[in-house]
Protein backbone atom coordinates (compact mmCIF):
# COMPACT_ATOMS: atom_id res chain seq x y z
CA UNK A 1 0.00 0.00 0.00
CA UNK A 2 2.83 2.39 0.88
CA UNK A 3 4.60 1.55 -2.35
CA UNK A 4 1.46 2.42 -4.37
CA UNK A 5 1.09 5.78 -2.59
CA UNK A 6 4.77 6.50 -3.13
CA UNK A 7 4.49 5.82 -6.85
CA UNK A 8 1.40 8.02 -7.09
CA UNK A 9 3.15 10.90 -5.32
CA UNK A 10 6.18 10.52 -7.55
CA UNK A 11 3.96 10.64 -10.65
CA UNK A 12 2.22 13.82 -9.43
CA UNK A 13 5.56 15.41 -8.68
CA UNK A 14 6.83 14.61 -12.17
CA UNK A 15 3.63 16.11 -13.69
CA UNK A 16 4.15 19.31 -11.73
CA UNK A 17 7.75 19.50 -12.95
CA UNK A 18 6.58 19.02 -16.56
CA UNK A 19 4.01 21.82 -16.23
CA UNK A 20 6.52 24.22 -14.69
CA UNK A 21 9.07 23.33 -17.34
CA UNK A 22 6.50 23.92 -20.12
CA UNK A 23 5.51 27.33 -18.71
CA UNK A 24 9.15 28.33 -18.33
CA UNK A 25 9.96 27.37 -21.92
CA UNK A 26 6.83 29.14 -23.19
CA UNK A 27 7.76 32.35 -21.37
CA UNK A 28 11.32 32.10 -22.68
CA UNK A 29 10.11 31.76 -26.29
CA UNK A 30 7.68 34.65 -25.80
CA UNK A 31 10.50 36.84 -24.50
CA UNK A 32 12.59 35.94 -27.52
CA UNK A 33 9.73 36.86 -29.88
CA UNK A 34 9.14 40.17 -28.08
CA UNK A 35 12.86 40.94 -28.24
CA UNK A 36 12.94 40.26 -31.98
CA UNK A 37 9.86 42.45 -32.55
CA UNK A 38 11.43 45.24 -30.47
CA UNK A 39 14.66 45.04 -32.44
CA UNK A 40 12.81 45.23 -35.76
CA UNK A 41 10.77 48.22 -34.58
CA UNK A 42 13.96 50.00 -33.52
CA UNK A 43 15.56 49.20 -36.88
CA UNK A 44 12.53 50.62 -38.73
CA UNK A 45 12.55 53.78 -36.60
CA UNK A 46 16.29 54.27 -37.12
CA UNK A 47 15.89 53.67 -40.88
CA UNK A 48 13.04 56.20 -41.12
CA UNK A 49 15.07 58.78 -39.20
CA UNK A 50 18.07 58.31 -41.44
CA UNK A 51 15.99 58.43 -44.62
CA UNK A 52 13.52 61.07 -43.41
CA UNK A 53 15.01 63.77 -45.64
CA UNK A 54 14.83 61.45 -48.65
CA UNK A 55 11.19 60.51 -47.95
CA UNK A 56 10.24 64.13 -47.18
CA UNK A 57 11.74 65.23 -50.50
CA UNK A 58 9.53 62.78 -52.36
CA UNK A 59 6.48 63.91 -50.34
CA UNK A 60 7.14 67.56 -51.16
CA UNK A 61 7.54 66.66 -54.84
CA UNK A 62 4.18 64.84 -54.64
CA UNK A 63 2.50 67.86 -53.06
CA UNK A 64 3.84 70.07 -55.85
CA UNK A 65 2.57 67.61 -58.47
CA UNK A 66 -0.83 67.45 -56.73
CA UNK A 67 -1.14 71.22 -56.68
CA UNK A 68 -0.17 71.40 -60.35
CA UNK A 69 -2.84 68.82 -61.25
CA UNK A 70 -5.39 70.74 -59.15
CA UNK A 71 -4.64 74.02 -60.93
CA UNK A 72 -4.72 72.46 -64.39
CA UNK A 73 -7.90 70.39 -63.85
CA UNK A 74 -11.42 71.75 -64.25
CA UNK A 75 -12.99 72.00 -60.80
CA UNK A 76 -16.62 71.20 -60.06
CA UNK A 77 -18.80 72.42 -57.20
CA UNK A 78 -21.79 70.73 -55.55
CA UNK A 79 -24.85 72.25 -53.93
CA UNK A 80 -27.94 70.67 -52.36
CA UNK A 81 -31.61 71.69 -52.38
CA UNK A 82 -34.29 70.28 -50.05
CA UNK A 83 -37.84 70.39 -51.42
CA UNK A 84 -41.28 69.49 -50.08
CA UNK A 85 -43.71 67.76 -52.45
CA UNK A 86 -46.72 67.76 -50.11
CA UNK A 87 -49.36 65.19 -51.02
CA UNK A 88 -47.58 64.33 -54.25
CA UNK A 89 -45.60 61.08 -54.19
CA UNK A 90 -41.92 62.08 -54.16
CA UNK A 91 -41.03 58.97 -56.19
CA UNK A 92 -42.51 60.56 -59.31
CA UNK A 93 -40.52 63.78 -58.83
CA UNK A 94 -37.24 62.00 -58.04
CA UNK A 95 -37.60 59.62 -60.98
CA UNK A 96 -38.36 62.52 -63.33
CA UNK A 97 -35.37 64.61 -62.18
CA UNK A 98 -32.96 61.66 -62.39
CA UNK A 99 -33.65 61.44 -66.12
CA UNK A 100 -31.50 64.55 -66.44
CA UNK A 101 -28.43 62.65 -65.23
CA UNK A 102 -28.24 60.96 -68.62
CA UNK A 103 -28.22 64.30 -70.45
CA UNK A 104 -25.09 65.82 -68.93
CA UNK A 105 -23.10 64.87 -72.06
CA UNK A 106 -25.60 66.61 -74.36
CA UNK A 107 -25.69 70.35 -73.47
CA UNK A 108 -28.13 71.20 -76.27
CA UNK A 109 -30.75 68.73 -75.07
CA UNK A 110 -30.15 69.60 -71.42
CA UNK A 111 -30.60 73.31 -72.20
CA UNK A 112 -33.91 72.64 -73.95
CA UNK A 113 -35.26 70.66 -70.98
CA UNK A 114 -34.14 73.16 -68.33
CA UNK A 115 -34.94 76.27 -70.36
CA UNK A 116 -31.40 77.64 -70.01
CA UNK A 117 -28.74 78.63 -72.52
CA UNK A 118 -26.37 76.09 -74.07
CA UNK A 119 -23.42 77.91 -72.49
CA UNK A 120 -24.99 77.46 -69.05
CA UNK A 121 -25.80 73.81 -69.76
CA UNK A 122 -22.14 73.18 -70.62
CA UNK A 123 -21.24 74.25 -67.08
CA UNK A 124 -23.50 71.56 -65.57
CA UNK A 125 -21.67 68.38 -64.61
CA UNK A 126 -24.55 66.38 -63.07
CA UNK A 127 -28.06 66.66 -61.65
CA UNK A 128 -29.42 64.00 -59.29
CA UNK A 129 -32.34 63.63 -56.88
CA UNK A 130 -32.22 61.51 -53.73
CA UNK A 131 -34.43 60.18 -50.97
CA UNK A 132 -34.08 61.03 -47.32
CA UNK A 133 -33.84 58.09 -44.90
CA UNK A 134 -35.13 58.00 -41.34
CA UNK A 135 -34.01 55.33 -38.87
CA UNK A 136 -35.95 53.62 -36.06
CA UNK A 137 -39.14 55.56 -36.64
CA UNK A 138 -37.52 59.00 -36.46
CA UNK A 139 -39.69 61.90 -37.62
CA UNK A 140 -36.80 63.72 -39.32
CA UNK A 141 -34.33 62.77 -42.03
CA UNK A 142 -31.32 60.99 -40.51
CA UNK A 143 -29.28 60.87 -43.71
CA UNK A 144 -29.61 61.42 -47.45
CA UNK A 145 -29.29 58.26 -49.53
CA UNK A 146 -26.53 59.46 -51.88
CA UNK A 147 -25.12 55.93 -52.25
CA UNK A 148 -28.49 54.16 -52.71
CA UNK A 149 -28.06 52.14 -49.51
CA UNK A 150 -31.78 51.84 -48.76
CA UNK A 151 -32.85 48.26 -48.10
CA UNK A 152 -36.64 47.74 -48.17
CA UNK A 153 -36.21 44.52 -46.16
CA UNK A 154 -34.61 46.44 -43.28
CA UNK A 155 -37.48 47.49 -41.00
CA UNK A 156 -35.22 49.90 -39.08
CA UNK A 157 -35.00 52.35 -41.98
CA UNK A 158 -37.67 54.05 -44.07
CA UNK A 159 -37.71 56.55 -46.90
CA UNK A 160 -38.97 59.97 -45.88
CA UNK A 161 -42.19 60.73 -47.81
CA UNK A 162 -42.96 64.10 -49.41
CA UNK A 163 -39.34 65.30 -49.41
CA UNK A 164 -36.84 65.38 -52.26
CA UNK A 165 -33.13 66.25 -52.13
CA UNK A 166 -31.65 67.61 -55.37
CA UNK A 167 -27.87 67.76 -55.74
CA UNK A 168 -26.27 69.60 -58.65
CA UNK A 169 -22.61 69.62 -59.60
CA UNK A 170 -21.42 72.53 -61.77
CA UNK A 171 -18.16 73.88 -63.11
CA UNK A 172 -19.24 77.49 -62.66
CA UNK A 173 -21.02 78.47 -59.42
CA UNK A 174 -22.69 81.46 -61.08
CA UNK A 175 -25.09 79.19 -63.04
CA UNK A 176 -26.72 77.75 -59.89
CA UNK A 177 -29.59 80.35 -59.70
CA UNK A 178 -30.52 79.79 -63.37
CA UNK A 179 -30.19 76.03 -62.92
CA UNK A 180 -32.56 76.18 -59.93
CA UNK A 181 -35.24 77.96 -61.97
CA UNK A 182 -34.66 75.54 -64.82
CA UNK A 183 -35.20 72.52 -62.58
CA UNK A 184 -38.44 73.92 -61.18
CA UNK A 185 -39.60 74.67 -64.74
CA UNK A 186 -38.65 71.13 -65.82
CA UNK A 187 -40.77 69.55 -63.08
CA UNK A 188 -43.75 71.91 -63.47
CA UNK A 189 -43.86 71.48 -67.24
CA UNK A 190 -44.44 67.72 -66.99
CA UNK A 191 -48.12 67.00 -67.71
CA UNK A 192 -48.15 63.68 -65.86
CA UNK A 193 -46.79 65.19 -62.64
CA UNK A 194 -49.06 68.23 -62.94
CA UNK A 195 -52.15 66.06 -63.30
CA UNK A 196 -51.19 63.92 -60.31
CA UNK A 197 -50.57 67.05 -58.28
CA UNK A 198 -53.98 68.51 -59.19
CA UNK A 199 -55.82 65.27 -58.40
CA UNK A 200 -53.93 64.98 -55.11
CA UNK A 201 -54.91 68.49 -53.99
CA UNK A 202 -58.53 67.95 -55.04
CA UNK A 203 -58.59 64.71 -53.08
CA UNK A 204 -57.23 66.44 -50.00
CA UNK A 205 -59.82 69.21 -50.30
CA UNK A 206 -62.58 66.60 -50.56
CA UNK A 207 -61.30 64.92 -47.41
CA UNK A 208 -61.29 68.28 -45.60
CA UNK A 209 -64.90 68.93 -46.68
CA UNK A 210 -65.93 65.45 -45.53
CA UNK A 211 -64.23 66.02 -42.18
CA UNK A 212 -66.28 69.22 -41.75
CA UNK A 213 -69.45 67.19 -42.35
CA UNK A 214 -68.34 64.55 -39.84
CA UNK A 215 -67.60 67.23 -37.23
CA UNK A 216 -71.05 68.75 -37.72
CA UNK A 217 -72.66 65.32 -37.30
CA UNK A 218 -70.70 64.73 -34.08
CA UNK A 219 -71.74 68.14 -32.74
CA UNK A 220 -75.36 67.41 -33.59
CA UNK A 221 -75.22 63.98 -31.97
CA UNK A 222 -73.49 65.36 -28.90
CA UNK A 223 -76.12 68.07 -28.58
CA UNK A 224 -78.99 65.58 -28.93
CA UNK A 225 -77.64 63.58 -26.02
CA UNK A 226 -78.29 66.45 -23.63
CA UNK A 227 -81.64 67.78 -24.84
CA UNK A 228 -84.89 67.11 -22.93
CA UNK A 229 -87.57 65.11 -24.71
CA UNK A 230 -91.29 65.12 -23.91
CA UNK A 231 -93.12 61.87 -24.48
CA UNK A 232 -96.20 62.61 -26.64
CA UNK A 233 -98.55 60.23 -24.71
CA UNK A 234 -97.54 60.47 -21.08
CA UNK A 235 -96.12 64.04 -21.10
CA UNK A 236 -93.17 62.69 -19.05
CA UNK A 237 -89.93 64.62 -19.17
CA UNK A 238 -86.68 62.64 -19.14
CA UNK A 239 -82.97 63.10 -19.89
CA UNK A 240 -81.31 60.92 -22.51
CA UNK A 241 -78.69 58.53 -21.19
CA UNK A 242 -75.10 59.40 -22.10
CA UNK A 243 -72.92 56.24 -22.20
CA UNK A 244 -69.58 58.07 -22.45
CA UNK A 245 -69.13 61.85 -22.55
CA UNK A 246 -65.49 61.60 -23.69
CA UNK A 247 -66.13 59.37 -26.70
CA UNK A 248 -67.37 62.10 -29.05
CA UNK A 249 -64.87 64.59 -27.65
CA UNK A 250 -61.88 62.41 -28.62
CA UNK A 251 -63.29 61.67 -32.07
CA UNK A 252 -63.82 65.37 -32.72
CA UNK A 253 -60.28 66.23 -31.65
CA UNK A 254 -58.91 63.51 -33.91
CA UNK A 255 -60.86 64.84 -36.90
CA UNK A 256 -59.80 68.42 -36.18
CA UNK A 257 -56.15 67.35 -35.93
CA UNK A 258 -56.40 65.53 -39.26
CA UNK A 259 -58.13 68.53 -40.86
CA UNK A 260 -55.45 70.97 -39.66
CA UNK A 261 -52.70 68.68 -40.96
CA UNK A 262 -54.30 68.48 -44.41
CA UNK A 263 -54.89 72.25 -44.50
CA UNK A 264 -51.27 72.86 -43.57
CA UNK A 265 -50.08 70.55 -46.36
CA UNK A 266 -52.31 72.36 -48.85
CA UNK A 267 -51.05 75.74 -47.71
CA UNK A 268 -47.38 74.79 -47.84
CA UNK A 269 -47.59 72.84 -51.10
CA UNK A 270 -49.18 75.28 -53.51
CA UNK A 271 -46.34 74.39 -55.88
CA UNK A 272 -45.22 70.92 -56.95
CA UNK A 273 -41.91 71.51 -55.15
CA UNK A 274 -41.85 73.94 -52.25
CA UNK A 275 -38.28 74.99 -51.42
CA UNK A 276 -37.35 74.18 -47.83
CA UNK A 277 -33.60 74.81 -48.10
CA UNK A 278 -32.42 76.46 -51.30
CA UNK A 279 -29.18 75.91 -53.19
CA UNK A 280 -26.37 77.81 -51.55
CA UNK A 281 -24.30 79.97 -53.95
CA UNK A 282 -21.18 79.04 -51.94
CA UNK A 283 -21.14 75.50 -53.28
CA UNK A 284 -18.64 72.92 -52.03
CA UNK A 285 -15.79 71.65 -54.20
CA UNK A 286 -16.28 68.02 -55.24
CA UNK A 287 -12.51 67.44 -55.12
CA UNK A 288 -10.95 70.13 -52.92
CA UNK A 289 -7.30 71.10 -53.05
CA UNK A 290 -6.52 69.17 -49.86
CA UNK A 291 -7.58 65.89 -51.51
CA UNK A 292 -5.14 66.39 -54.40
CA UNK A 293 -2.29 67.34 -52.06
CA UNK A 294 -2.98 64.48 -49.64
CA UNK A 295 -3.24 61.74 -52.26
CA UNK A 296 -0.27 62.80 -54.38
CA UNK A 297 1.89 63.55 -51.33
CA UNK A 298 1.11 60.15 -49.77
CA UNK A 299 1.82 58.27 -53.00
CA UNK A 300 5.17 59.99 -53.51
CA UNK A 301 6.12 59.46 -49.83
CA UNK A 302 5.51 55.70 -50.22
CA UNK A 303 7.53 55.73 -53.43
CA UNK A 304 10.33 57.51 -51.57
CA UNK A 305 10.25 54.85 -48.83
CA UNK A 306 10.51 52.00 -51.33
CA UNK A 307 13.25 53.73 -53.27
CA UNK A 308 15.19 54.23 -50.02
CA UNK A 309 14.83 50.52 -49.24
CA UNK A 310 16.01 49.58 -52.72
CA UNK A 311 19.00 51.87 -52.42
CA UNK A 312 19.83 50.64 -48.90
CA UNK A 313 19.85 46.97 -49.95
CA UNK A 314 20.86 47.43 -53.57
CA UNK A 315 23.94 45.17 -53.30
CA UNK A 316 22.04 42.33 -51.67
CA UNK A 317 19.23 42.63 -54.24
CA UNK A 318 21.76 42.67 -57.12
CA UNK A 319 23.50 39.59 -55.69
CA UNK A 320 20.19 37.73 -55.45
CA UNK A 321 19.38 38.66 -59.06
CA UNK A 322 22.77 37.42 -60.31
CA UNK A 323 22.64 34.19 -58.29
CA UNK A 324 19.08 33.57 -59.35
The residue that leads in pLDDT, 295 or 285, is 295
CB proximity list for 62: less than 8 A, separation 6 or greater = 296, 297, 298, 299, 300, 301, 303
- Residues near 115 by beta carbon (within 8 Å), at least 6 away in sequence: 181, 182, 185, 186
pTM of the model: 0.67
Q: What is the pLDDT of residues 117-170, one digit of tens each?
A: 999 999 998 899 999 998 887 778 888 998 888 888 888 888 888 899 999 999
> How sure is the predictor about 237, in pLDDT bands with cuts at 50, 70 and 90?
very low
Instruction: Compute the C-alpha angle 165/168/172, nearest 5°.
Output: 155
Can you give the residue ranges of every domain in the chain? 77-285
Q: How confident is the model at residue 235 (pLDDT cuts 50, 70, 90)?
A: very low
Whether 208 and 259 have beta carbons less than 8 Å apart is answered as: yes
Instruction: Please name which of 116, 87, 99, 119 lies closest in space to residue 201, comparing C-alpha atoms.
Output: 87
pLDDT in tens, 182-213: 999 999 888 888 888 888 888 888 888 888 87
Task: Identify which has the larger pLDDT, 281 or 136.
Answer: 136
**pLDDT class of 292 with cuts at 50, 70, 90:** confident
According to the model, what pLDDT value does residue 82 have?
Answer: 92
Amino acid sequence: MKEINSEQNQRNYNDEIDIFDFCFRLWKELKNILTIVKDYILLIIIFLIRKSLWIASFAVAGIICGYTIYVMSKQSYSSLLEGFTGCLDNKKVISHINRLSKLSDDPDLLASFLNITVEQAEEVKSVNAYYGIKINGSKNTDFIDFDDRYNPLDTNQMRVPSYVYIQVSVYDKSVIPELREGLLHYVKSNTYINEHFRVCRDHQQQIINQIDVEIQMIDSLQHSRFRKDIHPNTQLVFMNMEPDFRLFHEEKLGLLSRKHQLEKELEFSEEIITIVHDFTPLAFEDNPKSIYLMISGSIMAVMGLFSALLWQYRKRIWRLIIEG
